[in-house]
A and B are shown apart, each in its own frame.
Chain A
């Protein structure tokens, strides 16, 4: 059903777009940038400031896993000079949208260069595997700054209209992360959000956020060299804020005792967060919000919560909380608050920007776990 509807929408999009011509860019006007979801949109705004006009496809409180693009989205993409995507097969629908909108700007993959965490087949093993590998694969991430420069050397403009070449560029300069990049080839075959081998929720780590920021900065500087200096300036102050927040969160979470570091949420989006701050996240649903839980998943989670005395359960802004409320009921746990995994809140909510979101999540977690 969903697929068919999506196809219809894409077909409409193609029709609309054949009428819309390419738009010439002027150097003093803000460059049109499309970000796939609210967190990327916020980052682009921070870095680009007044020199970019950002269109965010999946807005606040929206679920990018199961999003259905509209013709307006296709139009925005076709007019964009820069398209920022998360990658790691987070936006399963983006390749179809790009094909449908004959986008000929530069595409930047925000996760390029991060150390992706693999999906675990059975999320019930979380805590076992967690302890083993959260220390070793972390220190190698000091190539943030080089990343940006490497990006800058690619000439996106000369590749106009040739998506394939651009994708290959990405694959080449990230060879060590090649597995993480294969979404560019596979995306088209997946009608639904059918996740790949790696967890795409990489922005839940502030360390990775620096890579995101570098990738975005490089892409913007590439498309608008006149303002590159401003972008890099904004980047520097943004990165400083990110690092300060990281230190702050480390500090508040460090106070939690060992036996109060397990959290139940409604979808597995916090692997990176847990990895950074030594928390374990359990979830009844799979990694995508689209899969339906089985009775066994729910039963195992309840057993585990009873066995480990887990008392804090968190709902999320983008998912249906009814199942989690039932689980909380059954185990006598209390709902500790709302977490923001994949999307920002509205501008008056508690997570209006990326940094607010990370701070809000950390505070909500520590409050419930510490009480």
Chain B
């Protein structure tokens, strides 16, 4: 029974195994980035960056067709350009980070739509950009796994400065020259994770697998290590359950995965031990003074 419901689809079909592997890779690579985004109160930055990579991917597609490499490089360049430009404006002018990022990503998005539209809708580009997790070929899987490895490695190297930047950016800036490096490397990681994610899930869904598990994890753990473990677990489980739902109930797989993660978030809000609604509603223990 359980064998048939859970394992049979993966045993029978290669595309299911590929989809699962791709999702696990994204979960391990992108979700920790999501945790740091959340800790730095930059969760919406992920969404902004997802739009910012559009023109790059579009240009890559128009130049080289449906080439994984060209679209990836294009997306990276566009995402990094937006990240650097907004970071630059933030650091040298009076404009705050949220406003400058919003400005640049909107410019980038408009540019992307313009490029897509001027070329007519040759193979609807949005559709190409919103890849489907069921169509991961070898090249896409290798790309996803490489991005994940790179992302985990960089996070390990930058762990301390990143935590400091989350907790006390002023302090980091005063004791180390690494502040700017950390900030931009981290933004590069965000872009990289999103570019990897859009091959599998499409840009919008890639943001979902990055942010939702991180937000859910916030209700289960307090330490960064705990948060990361909880977030990756939520992401992997959501991917698995989402794929199985897509298989058994004929739902489109990308939205199914993200919705399962959304349900996990909803459950966490209510039942999570670390500040969930139920815990808050319970009478608190009074400590003797």
Contact = CB atoms under 8 A, between A and B. Distances in A.
A320 B123 contact: yes
Contacts of B243: 295
A3 B220 CA distance: 38
B93 interface: no
B117 interface: yes
Interface string A294-320: 111111001000000000000000111
A349 to B, nearest CB: 13
Interface in B76-131: 113, 117, 120-124, 126-128, 130-131
B134 A70 contact: no
Contact of B134 (A2, A63, A293): A293
A350 interface: no
A323 B16 contact: no
B113 A295 contact: no
A327 interface: yes
Contact of A326 (B127, B134, B255): B134
B9 A299 contact: yes
A298 B252 contact: no
B71 to A, nearest CB: 12
Interface string A277-300: 000000000000111111111110
A326 B15 CA distance: 7
Contacts, number: 106
A302 B13 contact: yes
Contacts of A296: 246-251
B24 interface: no
Contacts of B128: 320
Interface string B222-260: 000000000000000000000100111111111110000
Given A295-B243, A323-B134, A58 B120 contact: yes
B122 A330 contact: no
Contacts of B126: 2, 66
A52 B249 CA distance: 51
Nearest to A9: B117
A292 B253 contact: yes
B4 interface: no
Contact of B122 (A62, A68, A302, A321): A62
Interface of B: 9, 12-16, 18-19, 66, 113, 117, 120-124, 126-128, 130-132, 134-137, 243, 246-256
Instruction: List 8 tightest A-B contacts by C-beta distance, closest first.
Output: A292-B252, A323-B135, A295-B246, A296-B250, A295-B247, A322-B135, A294-B250, A66-B124
Interface of A: 2, 5, 9, 58-59, 61-63, 65-68, 70, 289-299, 302, 318-323, 325-327, 329-330
13 contacts: A70-B117, A289-B127, A293-B132, A295-B9, A295-B16, A296-B247, A298-B15, A320-B128, A321-B66, A322-B131, A326-B18, A326-B137, A330-B13
